[in-house]
Chain A
Amino acid sequence: MSQSHRLETGGVLVDRTRQIKFLFDGKSYSGHPGDTLASALLANGVKLVNRSYKYHRPRGVVSSGPEEPNALVNLGNAGTHEPNIRMTQIELHDGLDATSQNRFPSLEADVGVLNAAASRFYPAGFYYKTFIHPRHAWKYFWEPVIRRIAGLGKAPTHADSAQYEHTYAFCDVLIAGGGVAGLIAAKAAGEAGARVILAEQTERLGGRLLVDDDAEIDGKSARVWLEETIAALEAMDNVTIRLRTCCSAAYDHNYCLLYERSGDRGEAAQVRHRLWRVRTGRVIAATGMIERPIAFNYNDLPGVMLASAVRDYVKLWGVSPGEKTVVYTTNDDGYRTALALAEAGCTVRAILDSRREPDGPLVGAARALGLEIRPNTGIGKAKAKRNKLASIETVDFDNPEAPGTTIECDCVAMSNGWSPVVHLYSHSGGKAMWDEEAVMYRPDPANPPRGRDAEAMVHVAGGAHGALTTDAVVAQAAAVAAEVLAELGMGGTAAVPDVSATAETPTHPVWVTPSAGKAALGGKHFLDFQNDVTVADVALAAREGYESVEHAKRYTTLGMATDQGKLSNINGHAILGKTLGKTMAEVGTTTFRPPYTPISFGSIAGRETGNLFKPVRETALHGWHAARGGDWEPVGDWRRPYRYQQGSEDRDTSIHRECLRVRNTVGVLDASTLGKIIVKGPDAAKFLDMMYTNMMSTLKPGKCRYGLMNNENGFLMDDGVVVRLDEETFLCHTTSGGADNIHGWFEEWLQTEWFDLKVYTANVTEQFTQIAVAGPKARDLLNSLDSDIDFNALPFMSMAEGTLAGCPVRAFRISFTGELSFEFATPVSFGLALWEVLHAKAEELGGGTYGTEAQHILRAEKGFVVIGDETDGTVTAHDVGMGWAVSKKKEDFIGKRAMERSDLTRPDRKQLVGLMTEDPTEVLPDGAHGVEGGKAIGHVTSTYFSPTLKRSIAMALINGGQGRFGEVIEVSTAKNKTARAVICDPVFYDKKGERQDV
C-alpha cells in the first residue's frame, strides 16, 4: 500500500529519501527512517490499530508519545516477542514485525465486539461485584469468560534472546527531559561545572519546540537556538546526554532509574535495554506536560486524537491523520493544530471552542485564514462508519437538547488543556496541588520529595511546573537551575535567554460534553481508553459510595492500565468531584508510582540471567566430583556431591554402597564447605565461653571439642568442632553455609557488646580444602602415605600439624560417621593433589568416595544431630539430648538466661528420639507427624533406610519423648494412612562409640 496520507512536504524527523518495509498484522507497509510505527501506519491510512480491553471496541492512535493508551502492539516473534508496546514509541526499522492485540480473528472482524453490546453487564466495580455472589459463578462462568475476552498482549513463550545491561552512574544534576526546560537547565548546570546527565525519552532533543516553533529566543528563531544549544551541550565533557532514555523513577536519597532503549531498532544490538542506577545530587524534572482529551459521546473512535498529536504528525512526520479535521478545543493552543493543518494543505472543517468569546493572537490567526470558529460549542456525539470516525454532531453548551449540526470528518483534534507531568516529583513523597486558575495539578513547592538531609531532592522545571508558554518555560527553568546550583554550592549567574512568545488566553475546561437523550448518562463518554472506563462508571462509583479518589480508582479501574491514567486521571477526578459536588482540590489526586512508563523485565534482570542468575560456590574438588558422577546438593550457595553415580545405578544403590564402604573399609568425603573461623587474642577463651554452651576455656592446645551455639532465645543455631591451636588461638568449625553467619555473629558481639575484649577473628573457610577419611581402614590408608604425623598416636579429638603426601595439613582426629576418622585441612591449591592421593589409596583398600547423603545416613545411624534437620529454630540443646554440652559452671553464655524460661524447661517439650517402624522396610516420610488421639505429638526430623542395620530408621521430636522409649506410636504417612513405630534411643548403631575411638 502506498503512503496515502503522507503529506507532500513537512516532517522534520523523516528521511524521505529512504524507504523502510515493515509488517503490521502480516501485511507489508512502507515508511521512512524517523517514523514511529504510529506515524508510519497513519501515513498508510491505517487508523484501526487495536481492540479495547473490555468491550473490544475499535481503537486508533490517540497520541504521539508515551501517554498512548490505545495503540499497543505485540512486537517480534519467539525470542524477540514482546507484548503491549506503545506504537508511538516504536521507531520504525527494517524487519519490524508488529501484530495487533486483543482481537479474534482480526481487527476488522472481532467477535469479542459482542462484549460492547453486553456492556451494561460490565458496570463499574464489575470485578468486585462478580467476586461476591454467587461464589461458584466466578469460578465456572465469569473467570473462563473473562480470560477469553479480556486482556492485552500475549505473554512470550520463548526465552528472550536479547542482551540487557545495568550500570551505576553518579552525577550532580540529573535532568529528566530534553525539551526547552531541560536544555536550559542542562546548559546552566554544565556551564557551572556540574556533572550532568540529561535523559530524554525520545530520540530527539527539543521537545515541543520542534513543533511549536512560533517563539524567538535570544533574537533567534526557535530552530537556530535549539541547534546552537544542543551543540554547546555536546561540547561539554561534564554533560552526558542520553536519548531514548526515560527517567523512570526518583527514589529515596536521590536514587533514580533511567531506562535506556538503545537497541530497539532492529539491528543486532549488543545491548537492547540498559537500566541506569543513578545517584544524583539533585533531580531537575523537566518532564513537560501531557494534553488532556475531552469526554464526549463515542470519543474513542479511531480518528479522535489529541490536538497536539495531530500537529505532531503533520509537522514532525509529514503525515495527515485525517483529510477533514474538526478541532475541538477549550484553549488557544488547540488553534495551533488548526493552523498547522491549514498550512499543510489539510481541510479544517471547523474549530469548536468551549469558550464564549475566544480571542488572542492564535485565534486571530485562524480567523485570518478564514477557518470556521464556533464558540460555546462542543462535540455532542461522534459517529462511525466501518470502525472509523465518519462524522460528528455539534452541541450547544447552553442548549444540549437542541439538534446540532452534523459535520463529516475523519479526524477530531481535541484539546482540554494540559497537565504537568509531576510523576518524578511524586514518586518519593512530593505533593501536587490543584491550581484552579491554571486548571492543573502542579508541584506543591511546600511539599517536595525530601532527600537524606531533608533537602528538596526533585526540582521541577518548565511545563512540568505549569509553565504553558515558551517564555514562561524558559524563565522558570533558568530560575530552577540557578536555585539547584546554588544549593549544590555551584552557583553562578547564568544569563537568562530573552524570549518573545505568542500570548495565550485562559482555558475553559470541559470535563464532560453534554449529550442529548440517553447518551446524556455518559455511558460511552470514555475517560480511560485502555481500561474502557466511562464517565458513567465514575459517576456510578461515586453514587455507590466510593468517594475517596483512591477507592474510586480501584473500583472503576480508572488509571490502572499500563498507561497509568496519563490521559484519564484528571478528567476522571473532575467527574468524581462533579458527582460529589466537590472541588478538584477536595477530591485530591492519586499517588504516582514508578516506573513512569512500563520497563522491560529484561532491563530489570540485566546480565544476571542464566549462569549469572545467582552465584554458585564451588570447592576445589568441584570439577573432580562432576567428572565422576557427583550429583549436586545445594547447601547455601555451595554445591556438594550428594552421591557419586556409577553407570546407570539409581540413587539408593549409590548411597547404600557409599555407606557400607565407610562402615567396612574406608571412604573419602569433601568437607571443604565446613566453616572455619580463627579466633585469637588474650580474651579469646573468655569470648568463646560466651559464644558456646560448652566451656571452651578449659580446652588444651592441640585438642578438639564439639561445641554447640545458641542464639539469645536459647535455641540451637550452629555447631561444630572447636580446636585450640595455641593458648590464644582457636579454630572454630561451623556448619556448611553457616560460616558467614557465624563469623558475622562473632563480630557483632565483639564490635557492639564486648568491645573491650581483646579478640580478633578471621574467616578462613575458603583457605582450606577439608577432606574426611573415615572407616576401619582409615589408619591403614594414612600409614601408607609419606607423613610426619604419627596416626597411630594421634588420640581421638586431637589435632596435629604436619605434611601428608607432600601437602601441608592440619590433621583432626574427629568423626561424624561413628567410624575411625580423620579430617585434613590443606591449602586449597594443594586440595586436588591431596584428594587424588587419598582417593587412590582408598580405592586400593576397597574403598572410595562418599557423598553428603551417605554422610547423613551414617550420622543418623549414630544419632548425631544436624542443625537445620533436627533443629528448626525452636529446639534447645536439652531437647535434642545434648544437655551434656551445656555448661553448668559458666555464669553466662549466649542463651543461658533464655534456657531458664519456664517454657524451655517444660518436661513435655518435644524431645529427640529414635523411631523404628514395625515394618522394617517402611521408611517414614520426612516431616511426618506422630499422632495420638487425633492430635499431633511431634514430627520426624530425619528418616532413612539404614544399609548398615538393613532396616528403616528415623529421628523425631516427640512430646516428652525421652521418657517414652519402648512405646509404640502412630505416624501419619499419607492421607488417612499411618504406620506404627516404636520410640527408641536415637543412637541406632555402636551405642558405646567403640568404633570411632580405636
Chain B
Amino acid sequence: MLLIDCPCCGVSGEETEFAPGGEAHIVRFGPGSSDAEFSSYLFDRKNPRGVHFERWRHAFGCGKWFHMARSTQTLEVFGVYKADVTTPPQDILDRVEAAKAEGRVK
C-alpha cells in the first residue's frame, strides 16, 4: 500500500487516506475547440508503464488536491507537488531522469 506525503498538510499517510484523481496536467478544452482537441481532453490518457504524473486528493485529511510523480511499474515516488501548477517542478523531473539513467524506469 502506497505511503503518500501530502504537500499541503505535511502528513505522511497511507493510501487509504487519499483518493486518486487520474492523470495530471490535462488541458481543458471547452466550447470552440475542435472535435480532436475535445476528444483528447475527455478521453486520451497516457496510462504508462512507467513514470506517471497524477492527481491525488487528501480526501480523509486536509481535503486538498495535489500532484504526485510515480512509477506505475515499481511504485517508486519521485515527488509530490501542489495542484496549482501546470507542469512538474524541475527537481522532480531531475529525479525522474536520474531514475531513468539508473535503469529503474523507462
Beyond A454-B74, A751-B65, whether A896 also contacts B30 by CB under 8 A is: yes
Output the least CB separation between A23 and chain B (Å).
Answer: 42
Mark out the residues of chain A between 148 and 199 whose CB falls within 8 Å of any chain B CB in the assembled complex. none
Please state if B76 and A450 are interface contacts (CB–CB under 8 Å): yes
Please state if A892 and B3 are interface contacts (CB–CB under 8 Å): no
Please state if B42 and A713 are interface contacts (CB–CB under 8 Å): yes
Beyond A712-B42, A744-B57, whether A751 also contacts B31 by CB under 8 A is: no
Nearest to A896 among chain B residues (CB) is B31
Output the least CB separation between A985 and chain B (Å).
Answer: 32
Q: What chain A residues lie within 8 Å of B2 (beta carbons)?
A: 252-253, 452
Q: Is A898 an interface residue (CB 8 A)?
A: yes
Please state if A255 and B14 are interface contacts (CB–CB under 8 Å): yes
Q: Is B55 an interface residue (CB 8 A)?
A: yes
Q: Which of A255, A429, A450, A898 contacts B38 (CB 8 A)?
A: A898
A518 to B75, CA, bound (A): 53
Beyond A748-B57, A751-B84, A891-B31, whether A453 also contacts B77 by CB under 8 A is: yes
Q: Is B28 an interface residue (CB 8 A)?
A: yes
Q: Is B36 an interface residue (CB 8 A)?
A: no
Please state if A454 and B42 are interface contacts (CB–CB under 8 Å): no
Output the least CB separation between A668 and chain B (Å).
Answer: 35
Q: What chain A residues lie within 8 Å of B35 (beta carbons)?
A: 901
Please state if A253 and B3 are interface contacts (CB–CB under 8 Å): yes
Output the least CB separation between B94 and chain A (Å).
Answer: 14
Q: Is A436 an interface residue (CB 8 A)?
A: no
Beyond A744-B57, A755-B84, A892-B31, whether A453 also contacts B76 by CB under 8 A is: yes
Q: Is A251 an interface residue (CB 8 A)?
A: yes
Q: Is B101 an interface residue (CB 8 A)?
A: no
Output the least CB separation between A635 and chain B (Å).
Answer: 21
Output the least CB separation between A390 and chain B (Å).
Answer: 53
Against B, the Cβ 8 Å flags (1 = close, 0 = not) of A218-251 are 0000000000000000000000000000000001
Q: Which of B1, B57, B84, B99 contacts A251 (CB 8 A)?
A: B1
Against B, the Cβ 8 Å flags (1 = close, 0 = not) of A878-903 are 00000000000001100011101100
Beyond A747-B63, A755-B84, whether A279 also contacts B3 by CB under 8 A is: yes
Q: Is B104 an interface residue (CB 8 A)?
A: yes
Please state if B84 and A253 are interface contacts (CB–CB under 8 Å): no
Please state if B76 and A897 are interface contacts (CB–CB under 8 Å): no
Q: Which of B1, B65, B75 contacts A747 (CB 8 A)?
A: B65
Please state if A452 and B1 are interface contacts (CB–CB under 8 Å): no
Q: Which of A254, A751, A755, A897 contacts B3 (CB 8 A)?
A: A254
A104 to B36, CA, bound (A): 69
Q: Is B9 an interface residue (CB 8 A)?
A: no
Please state if B59 and A744 are interface contacts (CB–CB under 8 Å): yes
Q: What chain A residues lie within 8 Å of B28 (beta carbons)?
A: 753
Q: Which of B21, B32, B55, B99 contacts A454 (CB 8 A)?
A: B99
A821 to B82, CA, bound (A): 46
Q: What chain A residues lie within 8 Å of B75 (beta carbons)?
A: 252-253, 452
A252 to B15, CA, bound (A): 11
Please state if A255 and B83 are interface contacts (CB–CB under 8 Å): no
Q: What chain B residues lie within 8 Å of A898 (beta carbons)?
A: 38, 42
A279 to B3, CA, bound (A): 9
Q: What chain A residues lie within 8 Å of B64 (beta carbons)?
A: 751
Please state if A748 and B65 are interface contacts (CB–CB under 8 Å): yes
A255 to B4, CA, bound (A): 12
Output the least CB separation between B103 and chain A (Å).
Answer: 11
A429 to B74, CA, bound (A): 9
Q: What chain A residues lie within 8 Å of B55 (beta carbons)?
A: 752
Mark out the residues of chain B between 56 and 80 whose CB falls within 8 Å of any chain A CB in the assembled complex. 57, 59, 63-65, 74-77
Output the least CB separation between B20 and chain A (Å).
Answer: 12
Output the least CB separation between A773 and chain B (Å).
Answer: 35
Please state if A255 and B3 are interface contacts (CB–CB under 8 Å): yes
Mark out the residues of chain A between 749 and 763 whose CB falls within 8 Å of any chain B CB in the assembled complex. 751-753, 755
A891 to B32, CA, bound (A): 9
Against A, the Cβ 8 Å flags (1 = close, 0 = not) of B22-40 are 0000001111110100100
Output the least CB separation between A483 and chain B (Å).
Answer: 20
A898 to B29, CA, bound (A): 10
Beyond A452-B76, A751-B64, A751-B83, whether A897 also contacts B33 by CB under 8 A is: yes
Output the least CB separation between B96 and chain A (Å).
Answer: 12
Please state if A897 and B29 are interface contacts (CB–CB under 8 Å): yes
Against B, the Cβ 8 Å flags (1 = close, 0 = not) of A898-940 are 1011000000000000000000000000000000000000000
Q: What chain B residues lie within 8 Å of A892 (beta carbons)?
A: 30-31
Q: What chain B residues lie within 8 Å of A255 (beta carbons)?
A: 1, 3, 14
Q: What chain B residues lie within 8 Å of A752 (beta carbons)?
A: 21, 55, 65, 83-84
Output the least CB separation between A743 and chain B (Å).
Answer: 9
Please state if A253 and B1 are interface contacts (CB–CB under 8 Å): yes
Q: What chain B residues lie within 8 Å of A452 (beta carbons)?
A: 2-3, 75-77
Nearest to A455 among chain B residues (CB) is B76
Q: What chain B residues lie within 8 Å of A450 (beta carbons)?
A: 74, 76, 104
Please state if A454 and B84 are interface contacts (CB–CB under 8 Å): no
Please state if A279 and B14 are interface contacts (CB–CB under 8 Å): yes
A755 to B29, CA, bound (A): 17
Nearest to B12 among chain A residues (CB) is A279
Output the least CB separation between A890 and chain B (Å).
Answer: 9
Output the least CB separation between A195 and chain B (Å).
Answer: 15
Q: What chain B residues lie within 8 Å of A279 (beta carbons)?
A: 3, 14
Output the least CB separation between A123 and chain B (Å).
Answer: 39
Q: Which of A253, A748, A897 contacts B31 (CB 8 A)?
A: A897
Q: Which of A454, A747, A748, A751 contacts B76 (CB 8 A)?
A: A454
Output the least CB separation between A691 and chain B (Å).
Answer: 13
Against B, the Cβ 8 Å flags (1 = close, 0 = not) of A841-864 are 000000000000000000000000
A897 to B38, CA, bound (A): 8
A896 to B41, CA, bound (A): 14
A497 to B75, CA, bound (A): 38
Given A450-B74, A712-B41, 19 new contacts (CB under 8 A): A251-B1, A252-B1, A253-B2, A253-B3, A429-B74, A450-B104, A452-B2, A453-B76, A744-B19, A744-B57, A747-B63, A747-B65, A752-B83, A753-B28, A755-B84, A891-B31, A892-B30, A897-B33, A898-B42
- Can you list 14 A-B pairs with a CB-CB distance of less than 8 A? A251-B1, A252-B1, A279-B14, A450-B74, A453-B77, A712-B42, A747-B65, A751-B84, A752-B55, A755-B84, A892-B31, A897-B33, A900-B31, A901-B35
Which residues of A pack against B, CB within 8 Å?
A: 251-255, 279, 429, 450, 452-454, 712-713, 744, 747-748, 751-753, 755, 891-892, 896-898, 900-901
The 3 tightest CB contacts between A and B, nearest first, are A253-B3, A755-B84, A751-B65
